[in-house]
């Protein structure tokens, strides 16, 4: 029996399974995969016939929390698109610490640039929670593009919309004062993955102060100072398994400054 390969990420043990240990739901009808593709940013602009062609070569796979989808340096044999759940993409520094580059959610493609350029994945991707993805083999994907030019046009429109979304996201997280950027960052997390509790909105994501600083483009010292003040003022509390947004309205006010 093949044993899971383990990787350490931000203090957690991440499991890497061989294909036989990943839950594969390809028994689902291709019509259901086509519907899932229709919900994604990059594939929704395809004609129905083209989405069905993609669905015929695609598979749905499920990943447990902590499972590595692909590791930095792996050959980009699959195009991943998140159906539900969350995936974080990170790089490991020479000192052994991990820097989160992006968090992807439903509808987002993961590792798409590497697939398009036929090069190795430049970073590692791991499931932050139970996650399902649509996987499309790279070779089958390009074969379909060559045979059906209409797919290229549809993908260009979808990729343009995706680029606009990413540009807007970058502007939100990189513009203005540091405290406003941090507020927008936590508001986004609360909206995307937050769970309502009587005392606030819980974000089930463990991030170090350094990781937060890297994601909003500031120093760890500034992040520590703001998070400490927010904790005392009951805006955002740091908990063992994530963060609690206690006063969302106050964050929204800060985000506008």
pLDDT number for residue 31: 42
Instruction: Examine the pLDDT at 28 and tell me if it is beyond 80.
Output: no
CB 134 within 8 A of CB 37: yes
pLDDT number for residue 173: 52
Q: In sequence order, what are the beta bridge partners of 8?
A: 13
CATH T-level assignment (fold) for domain 177-255:
Arc Repressor Mutant, subunit A (1.10.10)
Instruction: Examine the pLDDT at 99 and tell me if it is beyond 50.
Output: yes
CATH superfamily to which 5-171 belongs:
Jelly Rolls (2.60.120.10)
Kindly state the average pLDDT of the residues 92-115: 82
pLDDT number for residue 86: 86
pLDDT tens-digit readout, 58-82: 999 999 988 999 999 999 999 999 9
- The label of the residue with tokens 């969302």 reads 248
CA–CA separation, 147 and 141 (whole Å): 10
In the chain, what are the domain boundaries? Answer: 5-171, 177-255
Q: What is the pTM of this model?
A: 0.68
For residue 163, name the pLDDT band (cuts at 50, 70, 90): low
For residue 123, name the pLDDT band (cuts at 50, 70, 90): very high
User: In the sheet where 195-197 sits, what is the strand order?
Assistant: 195-197, 200-203, 242-245, 236-239
């Amino acid at each position: 029996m093949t044993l899971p390969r383990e990787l350490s990420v931000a203090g957690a043990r991440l499991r890497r399974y061989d294909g036989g240990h990943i839950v594969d739901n390809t028994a689902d009808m291709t019509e259901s995969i086509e519907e899932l593709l229709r919900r994604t940013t990059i594939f929704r602009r395809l004609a129905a016939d083209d989405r069905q062609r993609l669905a015929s070569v695609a598979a749905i796979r499920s990943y447990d929390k902590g499972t590595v989808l692909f590791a930095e340096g792996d050959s980009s044999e699959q195009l991943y698109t998140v159906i539900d759940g969350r995936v974080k993409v990170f790089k490991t520094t020479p000192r052994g610490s991990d820097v989160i580059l992006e968090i992807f959610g439903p509808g987002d493609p993961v590792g798409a640039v590497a697939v398009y350029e036929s090069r190795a994945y430049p970073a590692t991707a791991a499931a932050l929670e139970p996650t399902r993805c649509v996987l499309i083999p790279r070779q089958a994907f390009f074969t379909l593009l060559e045979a059906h030019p209409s797919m290229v046009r549809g993908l260009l429109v979808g990729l343009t919309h995706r680029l606009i979304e990413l540009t807007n996201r970058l502007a939100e997280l990189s513009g203005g004062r540091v405290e406003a950027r941090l507020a927008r960052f936590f508001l986004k997390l609360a909206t995307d993955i937050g769970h309502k509790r009587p005392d606030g909105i819980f974000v089930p994501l463990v991030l170090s102060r350094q990781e937060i600083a890297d994601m909003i483009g500031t120093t760890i010292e500034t992040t520590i100072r703001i998070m400490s003040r927010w904790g005392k003022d009951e805006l955002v509390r740091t908990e063992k398994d994530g963060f609690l947004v206690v006063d969302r309205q106050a964050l929204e006010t800060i985000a506008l400054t």
